[in-house]
Amino acid sequence: MAKNTVQKSDYGAKSIQVLEGLDPVRKRPGMYIGGTSLEGLHHLVWEVVNNSIDEAMAGFGNDIIVRLLPDNVVEVVDFGRGIPVEIHPQTKKSTLETVLTVLHAGGKFGGGGYKVSGGLHGVGVSVVNALSEWTKVEVHREGKVWLQEFARGKSKGDVKPVGKSKRTGTTIIFKADSEIFPEIEYSWNKILDYLRYQAYLTKGIRITTEDWRSVATKADEYKVRRYGFYFDSGIISFVRFLNRNKTVKNETPFYIEKKVGDVAVEVSLQYADTFKEHLFAFANNIVNPEGGTHVTGFRMALTRVINDYAKKNGILKEKDGSFSSDDVLEGLTAVVSVKLPDPQFEGQTKAKLNNTEVRGAVSSATAEGLSDFFETHPQDARGIIEKCMLTARARLAARAAKDAVLRKGALDGMTLPGKLADCTTRDASKSEVYIVEGDSAGGSAKQGRDRMFQAILPLRGKLVNVEKTSLDKVVKSDTLKPIIIALGVGIGDTFDISKLRYNKVILMADADVDGSHIRTLLLTFFYRYYESLVSGGHIYIAQPPLYRLQKGKDVRYAYNDDEKARVVEEMKKIAEAKATARADKKGKAAEVVEPASEGEENAEGEGSTAGEEKVAGINIQRYKGLGEMNPEQLWETTMNPENRVMLQVSIEDAEEADRIFDVLMGNDVEPRRRFIQTHAKTVKNLDV
C-alpha cells in the first residue's frame, strides 16, 4: 500500500510576486490593450486620442492633431484644458505624473472632471506610458508650457515649466516599446478610418492627421500626407458615407437626437438595396463591435414601429402576420451612438455595453422619432416597408427551399453530397474539408489526401454570385447546395455553428484569373452567409505553388516569381559548390561549369520538355492549374500540414470588407470599373 509523502516545496511568501505601479501592465499587456499584435499597438493611439475626444465632448477644444513621426513616434495634440500640474493631495506628486504613472487615476470617476467619457477605467494614458520606450507630455496651462518625460512608465524627473503659452491643451508624444510589441508599424488607413469615425460621432470637431514618416528634413515637408475630418451633420453624414455606392430606399436618412434621463441618444438609419445589415454601435464614441444594450433597445423599437406603421396603413395584412426582426434588419445601415456618465463595458477593449438603463432610453427615443419620421416622410416609409416585405417573402421562400434541401438527415451527415469524399474522423476539431475547383483537381486531391482527417468536395457547375441574389436562390444552387449540406451548420435562421463538421474549410483553386474569380465568389458566399465562420478563423485559402524546380535529385517549389528567382540562385550556387568539391577531391584545379543560358541544354545534353524552361541546367515547370499536379505533388506542396502554406481569412475592418465585396460583386458597374482602372498596374502574375 502506497504511503502518503509530503513533497518539499519552495512555495512560500517569496513565490508571491507583487507588481507595483505600472509593472502589471508591462507584465500582462493583453489585459489592458487586448494583446501585443498590431491591433494592440494601434490601441495605444486610440487611448490617447480618446482622452482628447473626451475634452472635446466636455466642451473644451474643437481641434485635435494626430501625427505619425519618423522612427515610429506618435504625437497627439489637443487644445483642451490641459492636464493639471499641481500637486495631487493623495499621491503627493504632480497631477500630471499621477495620471501618467498610476492605474485608475483620472478625471472620470465622478470627480466632476467629465460628465461623459470613453475612458471607464482611468488606465488609458498610463497604459500607453507603461508600454512605451519613452513618453513626453507637454501641457499648455496657466500661461505656461509644462514638460515632463518618462521612460517605460517611470518619471525621469519632476514636471517643470519650459516656456510661456497663450493657449491651453495637452501634447503627448510616445514611442511604443519594441520589448513589448514584436512589430511596430502603424497603418495610415487604419488610423484614418478610426479618426473619421470619431469626427462623425462628435459634430463640429476637427481632426487633422499628418504622416511625417517619409520626411527627412523640414525642406521635405511637401511629402507630408495630411487629411482633415469635420462633419456638421455628424452621424447622418456617416450613414450617407456608408451607403455612398448603394441604391437607397429612403433618400432622407432618419435621424433622432434626444436626452433620456442621463443618456444622450443619437440614431440615424437608411435602407439600401442589399442583403446585409450594417449596424455600428458606439458608447461615448467608443466602438462596440459586439453591440450591447443600446443595440438591443434599437432593434426592439425598429421592429415594433415598422410593424405598427405597416399594419396601420394597410400595407401589411393580418393574414401576413408580422415582420420578424431579421426582416427589418436586412439592407439596414444604421449608427447608434449613446453618451452616458457611467458606461459599463465588458473588458478594457469595451466590445459590449452592459448598462441596463440604456436599452429603454434608446428604445423610447428611436420609437418616438421613427414614428414621427414615418408620418412626415410617407414615401420614405413606404420604400422601407417594401424592402422589408421583399425580405419576408424571400425568407419564406428560403425556408421552403431549406425544408426541401436541408433535411434532418443531411444536417446530421447521413445524406451528404455524392461528390463529397468525406474523412474518417468524426472529431470536427481535427477535420478539414477542401473545396476544390474542378473534377480533375478533385481527383488528384482525393488520391493525395490523408483520409483520416481530410475531406474533398469538388465544385461542379457555375457558381452563383450571392451579392446579386436572394437566400432562396442560394439554397437551390446546384453548386452551393453541396457546400451548405457538407458544412452541416444550416444557413440563415437555421444556422448553428455548434454543428460545424469541419474545423478548417479550405478553398483550393488554380493560381490564375479563373481561380481568383472562383475564390472571390466563394469568399462572397462565406462572408454574406457564414460571417461567423470567417470571423471565427475557420476559412482558409490554399496556396499551391506556381513553379516546380528540379536539378538532379534536388526538387523545390516556388509560389511566385520572386521566390523562383531566389531558388534558382540558390540551386546554382549549390551546383557550383558541388562541382568545385568534386574537382578538389580529384586533386585537380577547381573547375566551375559556366551556367547555361535560358533554353540551352545542360552538360548532359538534356533539353527542356514541353511546358518547361531550363535555366542553368535547372528544369522549371510552371503549373497552369491544380490538375497538372499528380496526387503526390499536391499532397507534398498544398495538403501536407507539415509543408503547406495557407492563408487564414479574417475580417479586420467589416465596413471596408463590405465595401470591397459590394464594389467587386455588386450590381453597380461604375465603381467596379474605377477600381479596376485604379489597381490594374499593381496586378502581378496576370494571365492574359
Task: Note if 437 is an active site residue.
Answer: yes
DSSP 353: B
Task: Note if 668 is an active site residue.
Answer: no
Q: Which of 262, 326, 512, 531 is catalytic?
A: 512
For 76, residues 6+ apart whose C-beta sits below 8 A from its C-beta are 45, 48, 49, 52, 64, 65, 66, 67, 171, 172, 173
| Exposed e or buried b per residue across 491-507, where buried means at least 16 C-beta atoms within 10 angstroms of its C-beta | bbeeeeeeebbbbbbbb
Cell of 331: 439592407
Q: Which of 496, 514, 601, 668 is catalytic?
A: 514
DSSP 292: B
The enclosing H or E element of 450 equals none
> In this structure, is the dihedral angle defined by the CA atoms of residues 477, 479, 483 and 486, taken in order, positive or negative?
positive
Owner of C-alpha cell 478539414? 432
Q: Which of 510, 628, 636, 662 is catalytic?
A: 510
Task: Note if 432 is an active site residue.
Answer: no
Q: Is 261 left (phi over 0), alpha (psi -120 to 50) or beta?
A: left
The Cα 621–Cα 608 span in angstroms is: 9
Q: Which of 432, 437, 658, 662 is catalytic?
A: 437
For 584, residues 6+ apart whose C-beta sits below 8 A from its C-beta are 590
Task: Note if 658 is an active site residue.
Answer: no
The Cα 227–Cα 192 span in angstroms is: 8
Let me know: does 32 contact 134? Beta carbons within 8 Å.
no
> Which of 355, 197, 190 shows the shortest CA–CA distance to 286?
197
Question: 133 exposed, middle or buried (CB, 10 Å; 0-12, 13-18, 19+)?
Answer: middle
Q: Is 18 left (phi over 0), alpha (psi -120 to 50) or beta?
A: beta
Cell of 574: 549549390
Q: How far apart are the first and last CA of the chain?
A: 80
Q: Is 142 left (phi over 0), alpha (psi -120 to 50) or beta?
A: left
The Cα 463–Cα 512 span in angstroms is: 17
| Positions marked active-site | 437, 510, 512, 514
